[in-house]
Structure formats: structure tokens, C-alpha cells
Amino acid sequence: MCRWLAYRGAPLRTSELILHPQHSIIAQSLDSPLGAEPVNGDGFGFGWYPQGADDRGPGLFHSIEPAWHDRNLRELTAAVSSPLFFCHVRAAAGPPIQQTNCHPFRYGNWMFMHNGSIAEFGRVKRDLVLEVDPDLYPHIQGTTDSEVLFHLALTLGLRDDPIRAMRAAIGHVEAVGRSHGVTFPWQGTVAVTDGATIWALRYSTQGRSRSLFHSVDVTTLRELYPHEERLDLFSDDAHVVVSEPFNDLPGTFVEVPENTVAVLDSSGYHHQEFHPTPHPVLR
């Protein structure tokens, strides 16, 4: 279900990562060998934070059309430079295919995207939505499990402590799922950001999560490949977290392990174990 890409570093023309690589996320919309489905043609989304001092929050572009031939996406990514951006191509289980079902989702200065699913979502949806803060509830506009999880996490304090909130939100999803007799309620990788830090987690109840990789330090890559001109595009602090590698340069990407939350911030990349809260204390 889907492929995504998250970047953090010096402002970069977004097409350098979204369009130009050999196996870019746009190429992955048509064929993603490491994805649960090879085709991710059920719409796409692109969210980007502005360069420089700007209180505007991230811009968003969503479309229901497949990314592979979309002209607007190519135009926009060529025009936008950003220090932190998300891109997502969707493989939906079924209709509706609509812009409100495209990732990334946004709330205030936060963005969120997901590759995976909440099992038996139709059956558990009402219970999950009931836990969303009533003030946040009208903000839910689509029909995806991902959007509901985002709003659960917001309800559970995402803006104060993202890791704790994601632990509680996924823990809640697992508790509700089990109460409905679902064995493996949660699947997936998630990326969340406030525009300064990116948190990317890889966890599934069954322990067989969708693929997730992070880039090694650019300085390391420059040593590995001193003549690789493409590296000149990137600042030393440039990092990506991606569903699957977008180039074939050995050593560029390292898998993010299961049960992990990776953090990209001004100190670089680091990660720690991630486990949901077994019995989260709700509001």
C-alpha cells in the first residue's frame, strides 16, 4: 500500500529527489519492486516547507491521477526548493479515489503520511473515530485509516511528544482491533514532521512491516564515491527516509529495522526502538 519519501537538509530543488533519480518515487508509482503492490497509481501528494524564515506552514499539492504522467507534479517539483518535504504515491485497497484520501495529511504545521493499513478498518472505524478529540473530528475529510490514525495521534499529544503519541495511537488501534477479534490490527511505516524534525517509524503487529530505508550520511557517500557528481547537489546534512531506494548506488541506503522509530533532526539521523503502548491511557 503506497510508497513515500521524506527529505531533510539544506533547501533542495525537490525535483532532484522526486523526479530525477533512476528509480524515483514517480517511477515507483508505476513499478515498485519492494512494495506490497507494484503499482501505486491511486493518486499522489506532495507537501513542502518553505525556505527561510516563514510562518506559513507547509504547502500541499494533491491529485487523484497517477503520478507517472502528471505534468503538474513535474512542474511544481521543478519550481519548488525546500529544506524539508514529503512525497507519497498511493495504492488504495479500493475506491474512493479522491484528493481527501491523498497523503501527506496536514494539521497546522504538521504533516503525516503512511504506507500500510489498519486491518478490518470498516469494523473498527467508528470506535477509533470516537476517540478523536471532538474539536479535531470535523477536520477528518477522507475515508482512509491513515487519516484517522493521524487524528488519533494529534488527540494523544502528537504536537507535544510525537513518539509518545504514536506509541499510544498505535497501541490504541491494536487494543481496539483485538477487541473486535482482529489478530494483526496495525501494519506499516509512518512519517511525521513539524517542519524541523522528521520522525519515521516502522512497526507492524505481525512484525512484517512494509519496507523502509534511510540514506547514509552524505559525507560517507562522498568518500565512497569521490567522482559522483550527483552528490554535489546535496548538503552534508542532507538525509532521506524512503519506502524503497531510488538509486542503485551501493551503500546509499540502509534498511530501517522493524520496531524502530528513526529521527532526522539537526543532529543528523539516529533511531531507537519503538513499541506501542499496550494499554494506552486515553483522554
Minimum distance of its own copies from residue 8's CB (angstroms): 18
**Interacting residue with its own copies among 33, 55, 122, 226 (CB under 8 A):** 122
Q: Which stretch binds its own copies (CB under 8 A): 16-24, 134-142, 200-208, 231-239?
A: 134-142
Which residue, 193, 160, 206, 195, is CA-closest to 261? 193
The Cβ of residue 132 has, within 10 Å, a number of other Cβ atoms equal to: 22
Active site residues: 2
Residue 137 binds its own copies, judged by CB under 8 A: yes
14 versus 204: smaller Cβ distance to its own copies: 14
Residue 283 binds its own copies, judged by CB under 8 A: no
Binding mask 54-73 for its own copies (x = CB under 8 A): --x--xxxxxxxx--xxxx-
Residue 23 binds its own copies, judged by CB under 8 A: no
Beta carbons within 8 Å of 234's beta carbon, 6+ residues apart: 9, 10, 12, 218
Minimum distance of its own copies from residue 68's CB (angstroms): 8
Q: Which stretch binds its own copies (CB under 8 A): 2-10, 20-28, 119-127, 209-217?
A: 119-127
Angle (deg, nearest 10), helices 121-130 and 162-179:
130
Minimum distance of its own copies from residue 99's CB (angstroms): 6
Where does 132-256 have alpha helices with state H?
145-155, 162-179, 218-224
145 versus 174: smaller Cβ distance to its own copies: 145
Report cis status (omega within 30 of 0) of the bond before 226.
no
Q: How far is residue 268 from each of residues 33, 83, 189, 259, measured CA to CA in Å?
A: 28, 14, 20, 20
Task: Give the phi and the psi of residue 255 in degrees, each rounded to 5.
Answer: -70, 140
Minimum distance of its own copies from residue 181's CB (angstroms): 16
Residue 99 binds its own copies, judged by CB under 8 A: yes
Beta carbons within 8 Å of 134's beta carbon, 6+ residues apart: none
Residues that bind its own copies in the complex, under the rule CB under 8 A:
30-31, 38-39, 41-42, 48, 50, 56, 59-66, 69-72, 75-76, 78-80, 92, 94-100, 122-123, 125-126, 130, 134, 137-138, 141, 143
